[in-house]
Amino acid sequence: MPSIIRMENIVKRFPSVLANDHVNLEVEEGEIHCLLGENGAGKSTLMNILYGLYSHDSGKILIRDREVRFRGPADAIANGIGMVHQDFMLIPVFTVVENLILGAEPVKGFSLDLEKAREEIANLSEKYKLDVEPTAYIENISVGMQQRVEILKLLYRGAEIMIFDEPTSILTPQEVDELYKIMNFLRENGKTIIFITHKLKEVMEISDRVTVLRDGRVIDTIDTSSTNPHELARMMVGREVLFRVEKPSVRIGKRVLKIENLHARNQRGLPALNGVSLDVAEGEVVGIAGIDGNGQTELVEVLSGLRKIDRGKISLYDRDITNFTPKELIDMGIAHIPEDRRLRGLILDFHLYENLILGFQDNKPFRRGVILDLKRVKEWSSELVEDFDIRPRDIDVNAGSLSGGNQQKVVIAREFSRNIKLLVASQPSRGLDVGATEFVHNQIMRVKAEGKAVLLVSLELSEVMNLSDRILVIYEGKIQAEFDPKKTTESEIGLVMAGGHV
C-alpha cells in the first residue's frame, strides 16, 4: 500500500509543554488508522497540525509524497483533508443543506441554488448510506445524525482523508455501531480515515493499524491484528493496567436508599421517570445501565435535589427525603458526582480551594459567623490536593485550567472527603483516560469497602458490569430488569437496554 500521508519529525512546542516531540506518522491509502493515547498525549495537536489549525515548529508533512505547508484549514481542505471535531460546527437553525453549502454557496443569478445543492447532497447521502435528510433542521435531529451531517460535509467538499476526533464519546452504543458501519463503507470506497481515540475497545474493533502516542512521542505503529488490548494499554500508559477492578468483599448491610414508584418529568415537561423503584444497601454498588435519554439524567437530578418529582417516595435509612433541596440532601450525607462536571460539578473560574468546599460553605469548620474561614478552607484544600493526587498541587489555580482527569479528582475529593451515607455517581469516568478511570473506579470501590451505599449510573456498560453488585436496566423511565453481573453477558443486558425482553 502506498502511503498517502507522511508526517516526519513533527515538533510542536506550547509555552509550557512539548506537545509533539519528533513525531513520525505514516498513513496508508484506504486504511482506518487509529491514533491512540491518553488525554494530553499529543494526538489532537498532531491532527490539528495536519488540518492546518496549528503550525508546527519543525518537521515535514508529505501528502502523496509531495511536501505541503498549510496556512490554515482551507489549505488542508483543498488538499482533500477533512476533520470531524468533537464539537460540531453546525448552525442549529439552518437545514442540513444550508449548513453544508456555507462558505461555498452555489448561486444562480443573484439567488442561492438550493435545489441543485440539495440533490447533490441527497445523492452523496445515499451513496455513502448516511441516511441524512437534507432538508431537516439541525436542531431537530439527533446527535448521531448531526455527526453524520459533519461526515457528509467532508464528502461534499471532496475530502479523501478524514480525521475523526474521538467521534464515539457522544454516541449511544447503537449509534457507535452505525458509525463503524459508515466508516467501513467509507474505507471500501477508497477513503482514508484517521481515528483519534483513547478507548482500546474501539481500536481493536475498527482499525487496520494503530499508532500509540505517549507524552508527545510515538511509541510505535503496529497492525491491529497483531496486538491485543493489554499490550496497547501498556504502550499507552507506560505501565501495567488492571482492567478488572478489585472488588472488595463487603458484607451487604442495612438498606440505605429506597425509591418507590418514582414519577418525574424532564426539562421539556414530558414524563421521564415512569414508576422507578429500587433500593441500595450498605456496602452495595447498584449499577443503572441504559441508553442515554431513558431517564438516567432525571433520576440523578432527583436524587441530588435538582428536580422535583410528581409522585413517589424516596427515603434514606427509612427517613422520607422526597423533594428535599440540594442543601438538605448534601447535609443528609448524599454525595453526588454529576454527569457533567464542568456544568454541575465545578465552578471553572473559581480557585481550587473555593471548589473544594462547594456544598459545605455553610458548614463547620469553614463557617465562622458570617465569615468564610479562608485559612481553614485553604489548609483543608491543601490536604485534599495531596491525598487525592490532584495536579498541579496548587490550590490557587482555577479549576478550569486543570485536565479533565484532575477536574474529576477535585469533584471526587470534595464529595468523598466527608462522612457520606450514599454516593450517587453519574458517568464518573466520562471523558477520562485509562489512568484516571482506574483512579475513579478504585475510589468508588473504596467507598464501597467503607460500607457506604453506591448508586452508579453509566452509559458505559463495561463500567457498570465491572463495578456493580447488581445491575438494573432502565428503559423509557422504568427499571426493566435486574441482572447479576457474574451471571450475565453484555449482549444479554444490551438487549434489554434496547427495549427487548429477557
Partner 1 sequence: MSRNINESVLTAFKVLVAIFLAFLFGYIVLYIMGYDPVVAYGSLIKGAFGSKRGFAETLISTTPLIFGSLGFILAFQCGLFNMGLEGQIAIGGIVAAYLGYTIPGLPPFIHITICIIGAAAGGALWGLGPGFLKARFGIHEVIGTIMMNYIAFDVSSYLVSTHGPMKDRLTDMPASPFIHDSAKIIRIWKGTRLHWGIFLAIFFSFVVWFLLFRTRIGYKLRAVGKNQFAAEAGGINVPRYMILAMVLSGLFGGIAGGVEILGIHYRLFAAFSPGYGWDAIAVSLLGLLSPIGIIGSAFLFGFLRSGSILMQAIAGVSKDMISVITGVIIFFMGMSDPVGNFIKDKLLRKLYGNSV
Contacting positions for partner 1 (CB under 8 A):
11, 13, 15, 57-58, 304-306, 325-331, 336, 338, 343-350, 354, 358-359, 361-362, 366-367, 370-372, 374, 396
Return the number of the residue (30 or 428) whose C-beta is nearest partner 1.
428
Distance CA 58, CA 26 (A): 17
Contact 221, 250 (CB under 8 A): no
Return the number of the residue (24 or 277) whose C-beta is nearest partner 1.
24
Return the number of the residue (286 or 337) whose C-beta is nearest partner 1.
337
- What is the Rg, in whole angstroms, of the alpha carbon atoms belonging to the chain? 25
Distance CA 304, CA 330 (A): 8
Smallest distance, partner 1 to C-beta of residue 352, A: 13
Q: Which three cell numbers stand for residue 214?
A: 505517549
Return the number of the residue (323 or 488) whose C-beta is nearest partner 1.
323
Q: The dihedral of CA 100, 102, 105, 110: what is its sign?
A: positive
Return the number of the residue (157 or 327) whose C-beta is nearest partner 1.
327
Q: Which three cell numbers stand for residue 269?
A: 415537561
Cβ within 8 Å of residue 376, ≥6 positions away: 365, 366
Return the number of the residue (256 or 330) whose C-beta is nearest partner 1.
330
Smallest distance, partner 1 to C-beta of residue 49, A: 14
Distance CA 367, CA 433 (A): 37
- Distances in Å between the Cα of 123 and the Cα atoms of 78, 157, 178, 257, 392 are 22, 14, 19, 54, 52
**How large is the angle between the packed helices 404-416 and 434-449, nearest 10 degrees?**
10
Smallest distance, partner 1 to C-beta of residue 397, A: 9
Smallest distance, partner 1 to C-beta of residue 361, A: 5
Smallest distance, partner 1 to C-beta of residue 412, A: 15
Contact 107, 82 (CB under 8 A): no
H-type alpha helices, 171-291: 173-188, 200-206, 229-237
**How large is the angle between the packed helices 143-156 and 114-127, nearest 10 degrees?**
110
Judged by DSSP in three states, 350 sits in coil
Smallest distance, partner 1 to C-beta of residue 346, A: 6
Smallest distance, partner 1 to C-beta of residue 370, A: 5
Return the number of the residue (311 or 368) whose C-beta is nearest partner 1.
368
- Residue 336's DSSP bridge partners are 424
Smallest distance, partner 1 to C-beta of residue 420, A: 14
Distance CA 400, CA 397 (A): 8
Return the number of the residue (106 or 400) whose C-beta is nearest partner 1.
400
